[in-house]
Amino acid sequence: MALLQVTDFQSFSEVRGQILPVRQRHLVDRTNHYNFGSKTQEFAVPPGVEPSGFLKSCNRDGGVCIEMNHGTTTLAFKFRHGVIVAVDSRASAGRYLASNDVNKVIEINPYLLGTMSGSAADCQYWERLLAKECRLYRLRNNHRISVAAASKLLSNMMLGYRGMGLSMGSMICGWDKEGPGLYYVDDNGTRLSGRMFSTGCGNSFAYGVVDSGYREDMTVEEAYELGRRGIAHATHRDAYSGGVVNMYHMQEDGWIKVCKEDVSELIHCYRKGMF
Amino acid sequence: MALQDICNFQSVFEDRLTTEYPAVPHGKKIASSYVSGLPFSNNKSLFHFYIPVAEYLDESPIQFGQISTVQNCSAVSSEDPFLTSSSLPTCLPFASSQSVPLPFPMAHGTTTLAFMFQGGVMAAADTRSSCSGLVACPASQKILPIHSHLVGLTSGTSADCALWKRILARELRLYQLRHGRRLSTSGAAKLLSHMLHPFKGTELCVAATLCGWDGGETGPGSRGETTKNQMTELFYVCSDGTRLRGMLFSVGSGSPYAYSILDQGVHWGLSVDEAKSIAREAVYRATYRDAYSGNCVDMYHITSKGWTRRNREDLKEEYYREKERRKHEKTERRDVTFSD
């Protein structure tokens, strides 16, 4: 995707679009519909279509039972030695468990990570698009994009489609010249920098655990344990979270994947001696 | 209240009481007669409510102010009293056949928790009463003692909870006077559940956790405290008919935050001080993150000797202490990096 854009390669359909009269351009299909630094800002939604109305008609009120994927628990916190990112791995569609082994962390590049919560399709697509833009930035400017800029790009993408029914709650984590960076970006266009975030319907359970155990001067092992506990306790109480804990540690020279542990084993381990 | 019933006290106004009043909540009021005298003074039925005469109160009070769509959805127009339940917001689990918009938003946010351990039952709750964004009372009491060995935690609409607690206390006292012994916690939970059942499907919102000690004061103690055959009981009763027995419950908007702390730390062998500190930490974390919980924390400890109440503690102090601690850690960190 990135290479195509940089080398100004025009696919057949685009060339054809330039030859044909202007009004028929809308029907030409484009490979990439979001261009930074281009003359006009284009949106892939053709005029006249209203996605949010369509989505509303797909809800229970409209008599249809299509449930979007929404349940998850993800958490991330900054501490002295970097950023810990921990996510569960369950994908649910209403009451049906689509999968217990989804990776909800997208590895944008070796020094940037994005988490996904909300609609799986939206998250995967937009974060891949973000990955493309980060690569383009690196190719054009010869230095890595900062975490603040990457999260701003994502948030602008969301703002472009605001009110149209996107559902995404993501955390962009990385390490740049300013040190460890953690931003929360959401489908409303919210972009917040912070020390700790948790998203998804199990987030309240994770907040309790991490708020209580967090200390700035934690060792790396303690931080890993806190991340694991946060997700494990959230999956214990929340029906829409479960599977395994995927944990990443963002260090100065890039991220490492710490572990992938089954939550049921973790809970047995933690609750030994309980009722 | 209870004593008057027992001794069949006839008040002056009793001859004007009408017994035609329907006890079933969905029926319309037959006649707008004036029912005076004490509420509940007719011991034939529990549900004779006192109704003042007014034109707008033509319907039974159970239906007055039924469906509220205020919470965060669009408002229902008051000219249409027969909206079907499909317009209800999904946050309210009840459906009702008639809908009249509430005159004001009801109070629902709270954090209450209770768990059993070897030293009895520990119950804790915050003290904030909120009314859709306004803190109506920062010092309300959500843990109401019912009798010396039974304590109820309330969550849901404050008015409903306070009323039903009093009704339950009255019924338990009546039982005690009639039968000479206290009703067990399990029986009290069943009684409350049956009393709430006629109101199922209405806007009544009571989620009560009953914590009690059954049996005499000397009985369980002589068997030793470490056995699990203790007489402590913990029940969760809800106005939609749920009645659950368990060892750990947390109810309210702040409950998810409290649950994760409790899941981490609660086990049978806790000492009383450890249990107190876990309960306090759980309520504190819930008030930290939940907007509808806050202010102070109340704690009650129920043992064979009855309930004991700890002094109400303001969580603001705890918040400032934690902030100081974090600031201290941050400056420590800066010192460490500079000294490299």
Q: Which tens digits make up the pLDDT trace of A185-213?
A: 998 889 999 999 999 888 889 999 999 99
Q: In this model, does residue A18 exceed pLDDT 50?
A: yes
Q: Is B9 exposed, middle or buried (0-12, 13-18, 19+ CB in 10 A)?
A: exposed
B240: in domain: yes
Confidence class of residue B226 from pLDDT cuts 50, 70 and 90? Answer: very low
Q: What percent of chain A has pLDDT over 90?
A: 39
Query: What pLDDT does A6 receive?
Result: 62
B10: in domain: no
Q: In this model, does residue A11 exceed pLDDT 90?
A: no
A90 touches chain B (CB under 8 A): no
Query: What pLDDT does A63 receive?
Result: 54
Mean pLDDT confidence for B108-115:
86
* Per-position b or e across B146-171, b if 16+ CB within 10 A of its CB: bbebbbbbbbbbbebbbebbebbbbb
B312: in domain: yes
User: Which residues partner with A169 through β-bridges?
Assistant: A186
Number of domains in chain B: 1
Rounded distance between C-alpha atoms, residue A205 and residue B254, angstroms:
10
Higher pLDDT, B336 or A136: A136
DSSP state of B32: -
Question: Residue A237: its chain B contacts at CB < 8 A?
Answer: 256, 259-260, 263
B209: in domain: yes
Give the number of beta-carbon pairs within 8 Å between A and B.
74
DSSP state of A60: G
Mean pLDDT confidence for B154-162:
84
B128: in domain: yes
Identify which of A82, A79, A76 has the alpha carbon closest to the alpha carbon of residue A115: A76
Rounded distance between C-alpha atoms, residue B124 and residue B158, angstroms:
17
Could you tell me the CATH number of the domain that includes residue B315? Answer: 3.60.20.10
Q: In this model, does residue B271 exceed pLDDT 80?
A: yes
Q: In this model, does residue B102 exceed pLDDT 50?
A: no
Residue B196: give the domain boundaries.
111-216+227-326
Query: What pLDDT does B62 receive?
Result: 45
B180: in domain: yes
* Per-position b or e across A4-37, b if 16+ CB within 10 A of its CB: ebeeeeeeeeeeebeeeeeeeeeeeeeeeebeee
Query: What pLDDT does A34 receive?
Result: 53
Rounded distance between C-alpha atoms, residue B276 and residue B270, angstroms:
10
Tens of pLDDT along A211-222? 999 988 889 999
Please tell me which of the candidates A61, A204, A230 has its beta carbon nearest to residue B289: A204
Tens of pLDDT along B193-221? 998 888 888 888 888 999 999 875 444 44
Shortest Cα distance, chain A CAs vs residue B225, angstroms: 16
Confidence class of residue B327 from pLDDT cuts 50, 70 and 90? Answer: confident
Query: Mean pLDDT over all residues of chain A?
Result: 81
B267–A205 C-beta distance less than 8 A: no
Domain ranges for chain A: 74-273
With a cut of 0.85, is the ipTM above it?
no
Higher pLDDT, B223 or B8: B8
Tens of pLDDT along A85-102? 999 998 887 778 888 888
A205–B333 C-beta distance less than 8 A: no
Rounded distance between C-alpha atoms, residue A222 and residue A225, angstroms:
5
∠ CA B316-B317-B323, rounded to 5° = 90
Least confident of A36-50, B81-95, B245-259: B81-95
Query: What pLDDT does B219 receive?
Result: 41
Query: Residue A80's CB: how many other CB atoms inside 10 A?
Result: 17
A8 touches chain B (CB under 8 A): no
Phi-psi region of B306 (alpha: psi -120 to 50; beta: other; left: phi over 0): left
Q: For the full predicted model, state whether its pTM sits above 0.95.
A: no
Q: What percent of chain A has pLDDT over 70?
A: 73
A217–B333 C-beta distance less than 8 A: yes
Three-state secondary structure call for residue A72: coil
Higher pLDDT, A130 or A40: A130
Question: Residue B282: its chain A contacts at CB < 8 A?
Answer: 208
Query: What pLDDT does A209 receive?
Result: 92
Torsion angle (degrees, nearest 10) of CA B151, B157, B160, B162: 40
A212 touches chain B (CB under 8 A): yes
Q: In this model, does residue A139 exceed pLDDT 90?
A: yes
B260–A206 C-beta distance less than 8 A: yes
Rounded distance between C-alpha atoms, residue B153 and residue B126, angstroms:
11
The residue type at B221:
G
Under CATH, which architecture does the A74-273 domain have?
4-Layer Sandwich (3.60)
Query: What pLDDT does B108 receive?
Result: 61
Question: Residue A230: its chain B contacts at CB < 8 A?
Answer: 260
Mean pLDDT confidence for A10-39:
51
Q: In this model, does residue B84 exceed pLDDT 80?
A: no
For CA atoms A178, A181, A184, A188, the dihedral sign is positive
Confidence class of residue A47 from pLDDT cuts 50, 70 and 90? Answer: low
B329–A216 C-beta distance less than 8 A: yes
Q: Provide CB contacts within 8 A for B159, sequence distance 6+.
A: none
Tens of pLDDT along B33-78? 333 334 444 444 555 554 444 444 444 444 444 443 333 333 333 3
Q: Provide CB contacts within 8 A for B204, sequence distance 6+.
A: B157, B160, B196, B239
B330–A216 C-beta distance less than 8 A: yes
| Tokens describing residue B83 | 């909206």
B289–A205 C-beta distance less than 8 A: no
For CA atoms A225, A249, A190, B316, the dihedral sign is positive
B127: in domain: yes
Rounded distance between C-alpha atoms, residue A248 and residue B310, angstroms:
43
B272: in domain: yes
B interface toward A at CB cutoff 8 Å?
86, 247-248, 256-261, 263-264, 266-269, 281-282, 285-286, 288-290, 326, 329-330, 332-333
Residue B334: closest CA among chain A residues belongs to which residue? A80
Confidence class of residue B136 from pLDDT cuts 50, 70 and 90? Answer: confident
Q: Provide CB contacts within 8 A for A44, sequence distance 6+.
A: A30, A33, A34
Mean pLDDT confidence for B318-332:
82
Mean pLDDT confidence for B270-290:
91
Confidence class of residue B326 from pLDDT cuts 50, 70 and 90? Answer: confident
Query: What pLDDT does B314 receive?
Result: 84
Q: Provide CB contacts within 8 A for B62, sequence distance 6+.
A: B25, B26, B199, B202
Least confident of B13-22, B173-182, B301-310, B314-323: B13-22
Query: Mean pLDDT over all residues of chain B?
Result: 71
Q: In this model, does residue B248 exceed pLDDT 50?
A: yes
